[in-house]
Amino acid sequence: MDAQALQALADFYEHLNTERRLSSHTSASYQHDLQLLVIYCQTQQIEHWNAVTVIHIRAHIASRHRQGMGSKSLQRELSAIRSFYKFLLKRHGVTANPAQQVRAPKQGRKLPKTLDVDQVTGLLEAGTDSLLEIRDLAIFELCYSSGLRLSELTALNVNDVDLHDQSLIVRHGKGNKSRFLPIGSKAVNALQHWLRHRTVATSDELAVFTSKQGKRLTQRSVQLRLAQWCIKKGITEHVHPHMLRHSFASHLLESSQDLRAVQELLGHSNISTTQIYTHLDFQHLARVYDQAHPRAKKKTD
């Protein structure tokens, strides 16, 4: 690129450091991403920033994608290019921002990690030897039994749970939506055991799950207690509360094949969110097929 174009780039770096006062790390990221654009322009024999078009930007991003760059990295690169061109529009007489309408390739959706039924059984039947573990087991049983989000679990009040009817109400789920959920018998037993020992700091504390101080348990506390539970019980799998919700959904769908029912139980407003679990179910079916079908088994040398 010509000297004027490179000077405009240097001016932008100075703008980042002195006017926007970005951290050295962020500024270095901008410089790295824009240097890649400079290299591309040089290979295309582009001398001026005004000569860069939407087609060039798309080709540059496509080339980076073929090199193995992920969607998030490409989004960051495009953001740097857009910011640079906004600067050029104001300070260096460029007439258009060629990156404005370019979008990075969509991120491949990661499948949620789940436990199989035997792993869940091992987790929930490890036994309790303290008051806190009685509470913890009730938490984990309820997560898996009803597919609660962590925020929904910690927000539960005593009057939200009907153990006789084996049901509960989530009053403020995602999107502030409420829903009724069944509670399995194992979770009912665990909750009954905990509620007989539950302590509260004040008479107006309504939380189902309370701390040693008798106050509502925090989401972070639940995460830490589950991690400690796994270490103490010799469970090597890294388990987090949301994994119990994923396992609930996957196991229920695998058994029932009723996507709409699972959607309702999870509180998903869009069924496409629930459909991620059909991919998990297909993976399970594919493994069974590979292991069982006589014409599917791979040959061994």
In contact, 7 and 47? CB cutoff 8 Å: no
- In angstroms, the CA 128 to CA 232 distance is 11
**Catalytic annotation, pick one of 92, 149, 198, 216:** 149
Q: Is 245 a catalytic residue?
A: yes
- 27-33: long-range contacts, CB 8 A cutoff, minimum separation 24: 29/76, 29/80, 30/80, 30/83, 30/84, 33/76, 33/77, 33/80, 33/81
Residue 66, both tokens: 């073929």
Catalytic: which of 90, 174, 177, 233? Answer: 174
Which one of 56, 64, 135, 245 is the catalytic residue?
A: 245
Angstrom distance (rounded) from CA 57 to CA 34: 12
Give alpha helix (H) positions in the chain.
3-18, 24-43, 54-66, 71-91, 117-124, 131-146, 150-155, 185-197, 219-232, 241-256, 259-266, 271-274, 276-292
Reply yes or no on whether 277 is catalytic. Answer: yes
Residue 174 falls in the annotated catalytic set: yes
> Vertex 279, ends 273 and 280: CA angle to 5°?
105
Of 55, 60, 92, 89, the closest CA to residue 77 belongs to 60
Cβ atoms < 10 Å from Cβ of 180: 12
Q: Cβ neighbours of residue 65 under 8 Å, at least 6 residues apart?
A: 74, 104, 105
Asked if 194 and 156 touch (Cβ cutoff 8 Å), the reply is no
- Measured between alpha carbons, how far is 100 from 53 in angstroms, rounded to an integer? 11
The Cα 9–Cα 87 span in angstroms is 10
Catalytic site residue 149? yes
> Is the backbone of residue 111 left (phi > 0), alpha (psi -120 to 50) or beta?
beta
Active site residues: 149, 174, 242, 245, 268, 277
